[in-house]
Structure 1
Amino acid sequence: MAKKTLKDLDVKGKKVLVRVDFNVPIKDGVVGNDNRITAALPTLNYILDNGGAVIAFSHLGKVKTEEDKVSKTLAPVAKVLAEKLGKPVKFVPVTRGPELEKAVAELKPGEILMFENTRFEDLDGKKESKNDPELGKYWASLGDLFVNDAFGTAHRAHASNVGIASNIKESAVGFLIEKEIKFIGGAVDNPERPLVAILGGAKVSDKIGVIDNLLEKADKVIIGGGMMFTFLKALGKNTGSSLLEADKVDLAKSLIEKAKAKGVELLLPVDAVVAQKFSNDVPFKTVSVDEIEDGWMGLDIGEKSVELFKKALEGAKTVVWNGPMGVFEMSNFAKGTIGVCKAIAELKGAKTIIGGGDSAAAAIQLGFADKFSHISTGGGASLEYLEGKVLPGVAAISEK
């Protein structure tokens, strides 16, 4: 890749600013899922082991009031990080000022400090998320080098990524972002073929750019989830009370036409699991997509669709999956997502990539995480990357 990566930097004796993604669930001061902390360890350990000092920082949720500061402090994260690194992490409970500057000045090679939630700066005019020039310059002044390893926010231009990178002599992406670019970028721009893309989720409007871009790149595109009903409506089928974006039916028609023109096989479900209410506690049945009655809503794909998609995956060399096939949080409507997840996980000799979000949550929850080549850590960022968009947090990094 054309951007500098961590191994392109000489970190010895340097103070390295590292933007990590520690936006983790915290309840009553206790960290829930710590996957994102674990994911940052290779980058942090590399810098520490090679004689650098680390100044780590992250956002955590949204901070709109002074009260939010109590529940959105990164102090509990610093404790978990120290346990995982097996060394002390000095936590500095501010985002700027003499206390932070003194702690940075005293930091020695091989040591790490972490400062407070970058979003605390948003209380005063959204300085962090609006990329306030003075703030980016200030944070850049605290270190010698900058490493961005927060893929989850790479699609946003914030003071803590673009702001710092624009004001420091040398910057690089960390191992996590490097891996994301290698897998997602490689899958879309230079895939081993056949490339099969599986897209689910609720709305076509959320995935227009992704579908459009993948129709230029993929050999097959499979559509499931709530957005399948907009496509079925575009084919003239009755969709009952299913989720439908009426204003996107013409768009769905044009995407079906584009697939034909490009010679891309666009596959839609042939059956659906339907119920009369959006609930796990009501009767449900499986019907053909030609037989969805008024008053019934589709909440999952049926078994015949799972078999159809399984067959379409045979021989695939690259598979990109983004979005569940149904309302997988409800056990009665999770079978489609489980079936597709299992089919991808069992493919032999294929590069299999999950583009973050709900499909990543589903794969982890269903115990298939280690069966995939790569599970993206960024929902919005991976979606924009799949669309072919430039990610500002990566674009701002020094060229090789």
Structure 2
Amino acid sequence: MARFESIDQFDPKGKRVLVRVDFNVPMQDGEITDATRIERAAVTLKELMGKGARVIALSHFGRPKGKVEPAMSLEPIARALGQALGGVDVVFGKDCVGPEAEAAVAKVEEGGIALLENLRFHAGEEKNHKDFADALAALGDVYVNDAFSASHRAHASVTGLAERLPAFAGRLMEAELKALGAAVGDADRPVAALIGGAKVSTKLDVLGHLLDKVDVLVIGGGMANTFLFADGVEIGKSLCEKDLAGNAREIAAKAKARNVRIVLPVDAVVATQFEANAPHRVTGLDKVRPEEMILDVGPMSVAAVEEALAGCKTLLWNGPMGAFEVAPFDEGTNAVAKAAAKLTREGRLQSVAGGGDTVAALAHAGVLEEFSYVSTAGGAFLEFIEGKDLPGVAALAR
């Protein structure tokens, strides 16, 4: 992993510190429904403020496509940020560049903070236009990237600022890189990866990259159906990418050649309808009926995964084991999540998880805080475990 400097490497007192955060949080009717990203970013912001920095927070929100969309304003988030910081007053800039941004920055005293308006109200952000990056850089003396979740994009506030100002990693960025690096690159062996979700097609690169990194590969969710189909199992009306059966067989062959153990379901929870509390049954894979769908792993599959994890020292988790959003098809994911959490509490497993559905599934299982590290990043998390270089991380390299 590339070397980078953290906020320990500079004195922020009196400096205008531009901090790229990710406040792209879920909202409904103007209210934030999950403030996790704001709360995590507050750690870096509080530290810089405590050291006398004049903090200027920068973020995107939604996809306004370079136009001002009032419904995507960061103004409501400024209020939530003030609460997360312990009740401080956050100066809100009604633009992120130009006179209104400059006026907001001028109001920030040592130990204070401003949040500027949505970066994506300007087309120059996503296009990384030179003039837009220059205008952002003129607002600060130092740049801190604390938005790992946005660092897979070469946007002006991600790479452009790092090229124009002294650049450092914030605490959240630092924690993400260390946790993911430890799980993917320098992990304690044996290493298990649990990769689930709906489609193999979205995670072919992940699976291919991990074959050189892990000892055990657990495949769950709809993805497992494609592997089972490729192995000749009758899966009824289950979600399956039949055109990728050849890819699944190729991955299985490569795993065998590398001595990587693949763990697939051995039983399933099936139903004829995908809806809450639909009539369902547990069955062996050889008894799935043509009209049935596999919607979760069965108890024997859960036991097999638990046994595999018990023999490992590191776990990388991305994706659920079944249709966890709908009861009772959440039981398999819940059981495996609780088993991993127990091993983590006992000090037997270093557990690192990430991805939107994964975070939701672990929260649903009540174990979100019991894993060693849970990344709130989505696309950036996937690209990292695919082995890709993230532009925002590369821009911090020393």
* Superposition TM-score, scaled by structure 1 size: 0.95
Q: How does 1:228-307 map to 2 (within 5 A)?
A: 228-307=224-303
Aligned Cα root-mean-square deviation (Å): 1.4
Moved more, 70-79 or 27-36: 27-36
Whether 1:144 aligns to 2:145 is no
Distance in 2 (CA, whole Å) between partners of 1:134 and 1:289 is 59
1:346 is paired with a residue whose SS is: helix
| C-alpha contact 1:157 1:392 (8 A) present in aligned 2 | yes
Distance in 1 (CA, whole Å) between partners of 2:145 and 2:66 is 27
1:356 to partner: Cα distance: 2.4
Q: Where do 5+ consecutive residues of structure 1 fail to align?
A: none
Aligned to 1:214: 210
Q: How does 1:75-86 map to 2 (within 5 A)?
A: 75-85=75-85, 86=87
Q: Deviations over 1:269-317 (max 9, x none)?
A: 0011111122225321111122222121111111110011111111321
Aligned to 1:392: 391
Q: Deviations over 1:72-123 (max 9, x none)?
A: 11111111111222321100111221121122234321111111011111xx
2:164 is paired with a residue whose SS is: coil
Aligned to 1:2: 3
Distance in 1 (CA, whole Å) between partners of 2:63 and 2:174 is 27
| C-alpha contact 2:296 2:330 (8 A) present in aligned 1 | yes
Distance in 2 (CA, whole Å) between partners of 1:271 and 1:72 is 45
Q: Deviations over 1:339-391 (max 9, x none)?
A: 11011001022111112221111112322112110000101111111111111
Aligned to 1:40: 41
Among 161, 165, 179, the alignment partner of 2:162 is 165
| C-alpha contact 1:151 1:377 (8 A) present in aligned 2 | no
Q: Where do 5+ consecutive residues of structure 2 fail to align?
A: none
| C-alpha contact 2:12 2:52 (8 A) present in aligned 1 | yes
Distance in 2 (CA, whole Å) between partners of 1:293 and 1:91 is 59
Distance in 1 (CA, whole Å) between partners of 2:313 and 2:111 is 42
Whether 1:182 aligns to 2:178 is yes
Whether 1:313 aligns to 2:312 is no
Whether 1:11 aligns to 2:5 is no
Distance in 1 (CA, whole Å) between partners of 2:258 and 2:158 is 38
Aligned to 1:369: 368
| C-alpha contact 1:172 1:398 (8 A) present in aligned 2 | no
Distance in 2 (CA, whole Å) between partners of 1:182 and 1:96 is 33
Whether 1:132 aligns to 2:146 is no
| C-alpha contact 1:274 1:298 (8 A) present in aligned 2 | yes
Q: Work out the number of aligned pairs and report it.
A: 393
Distance 1:65 1:136, change over 3 A: closer
Distance 1:398 1:322, change over 3 A: closer
1:223 to partner: Cα distance: 0.5
Aligned to 1:74: 74
Distance in 2 (CA, whole Å) between partners of 1:249 and 1:274 is 21
Q: Deviations over 1:170-222 (max 9, x none)?
A: 10111001101101111111111111111100011111111111111111011
1:320 to partner: Cα distance: 0.8
Distance in 2 (CA, whole Å) between partners of 1:292 and 1:136 is 57
Distance in 2 (CA, whole Å) between partners of 1:244 and 1:17 is 46
Q: Which one-letter code corresponds to 2:383 in the other structure?
A: E
| C-alpha contact 2:91 2:108 (8 A) present in aligned 1 | no
Identity of aligned residues (%): 45
Q: Which one-letter code corresponds to 1:70 in the other structure?
A: P
Distance in 2 (CA, whole Å) between partners of 1:130 and 1:274 is 47
| C-alpha contact 1:24 1:31 (8 A) present in aligned 2 | yes
| C-alpha contact 1:63 1:69 (8 A) present in aligned 2 | yes
